[in-house]
A and B are shown apart, each in its own frame.
Chain A
């Protein structure tokens, strides 16, 4: 379980997170929904210790991580996988080498086991036969698939997704949505996804948490969000940006 308490973060005079509280349950898909620039990526980077907060605490499976040293954080990060917005694949490595990277560099597993696990994950994200392709030869959707295979290859307990559908055409967006649901069905682990895409959030989430003005404005199931009469939530669900901008 991830528990975030009164998290605050500012960049210069700009207050991005303003006393944010959120609990993320094990094994669920939690989508943190918010407009671009609302601080979603900043929140995600706090959860994995890439950014330090100005104030507040984050507990990951009972361990308070904001006061941890880099060495202690590395111990916690072993439980995480992360899919970055543009994939963050290593340019000089092939698809196979990218997926194998955490196993080779961190886990130091025998070669045969690495080959088995990488082949399984590449197959799971439906990229069989693409092992030797370089990142520059891949489309945006394929890069995200490789990124997802790399995030899952270490069998993490928690996977963080940074805008998995941004910059994709509707067909690729649907296939990534299906892939996230399919891998979650297989892995049964905690998925924390940040997105501005309400259609995607309603399709995949067990729980949606809406980020607005540096705080969690509302939490609930997709059904509760769809039925909500709150002007900000209904504005977001219906895509009425005017309400969101001035809410």
Chain B
């Protein structure tokens, strides 16, 4: 009779526990980020992993997203003889939403999962205990560089995603769909505002922060053997993806009034 309320209570208490622990990990990371030693090489290595090594996937997915947006925009706008608005639609959509959100989802899949798996393996094989035993704080050594890499690299990746999408949409529109290149650029210039781009950048900073913190969190608290690492990786990807989508709505509602 009391089974359902008890299950609900268990579910709520588990979520509260996760929220509490991830908040503590975040506060710990902030505290250790400002304390020496500052491991610059460690931060640069993570920036390379998050940023440089994500370039090919970001540019490829950005280009194809731009192309498909141009195609659907053309198919809809031609009913109103407004095909030349395709460029503006793609540019605004990319700058405001597609660039930050899809780039973040791609990075969650590549980087968030890798962080959870790597830190989870370090937890299970006692490498994190080894760091602590050597008086090296594991949050400072493992979590802080990853979060810094996430918040610095994600805006660059989102910008490149948008740029790749915009260039690809231009070529599809002009070369395949026979839209005037001049009209395409004119409407982009007319309708795209700086605000669209800067708000997109601000959102991608938040996404970079969320996806690295969540990836590190699930790895840091991984338990069990290979199965535990598998669960941590899956949860990191699912929770980070959902967080990106939900926070995107909240941030957009605050920014675009």
A interface vs B, CB < 8 Å?
A: 45, 48, 50, 70, 74-75, 77-78, 80, 82, 84-86, 88-91, 101-102, 105-106, 108, 154, 160
For residue A190, give the distance in angstroms from its CB to the closest CB of chain B: 15
Name 30 interchain pairs, CB-CB below 8 A, sorted by A. A45-B129, A48-B133, A50-B129, A50-B133, A75-B135, A77-B133, A77-B134, A77-B135, A82-B130, A82-B133, A84-B126, A84-B129, A84-B130, A86-B125, A86-B126, A88-B125, A88-B127, A88-B129, A90-B122, A90-B127, A90-B130, A91-B125, A102-B134, A105-B37, A105-B39, A105-B141, A106-B134, A106-B136, A154-B134, A160-B133
Inter-chain pairs besides A91-B122, A108-B37, 11 sampled, C-beta below 8 Å: A45-B129, A74-B135, A75-B135, A77-B133, A80-B133, A82-B130, A84-B126, A84-B130, A86-B126, A88-B126, A102-B136
Give the docked Cα–Cα distance between A50 and B126 (Å): 11
Number of B residues near A (Cβ < 8 Å) is: 16
Say if the beta carbon of B121 comes within 8 Å of chain A. Answer: yes
Given A91-B121, A105-B141, A108-B37; A78-B135 close (CB under 8 Å): yes
Interface set, chain B 180-224, CB cutoff 8 A to A: none
Nearest residue (CB) in B for A101 is B134
Nearest residue (CB) in B for A92 is B118
Interface centre among B37, B122, B127, B135 (most CB of A within 10 A): B135
Chain A residues closer than 8 Å to B129, beta-carbon distance:
45, 50, 84, 88
**A88 and B137 within 8 A (CB):** no
Nearest residue (CB) in A for B127 is A88
Nearest residue (CB) in A for B28 is A70
Nearest residue (CB) in B for A41 is B126
Nearest residue (CB) in A for B35 is A71
For residue B191, give the distance in angstroms from its CB to the closest CB of chain A: 48
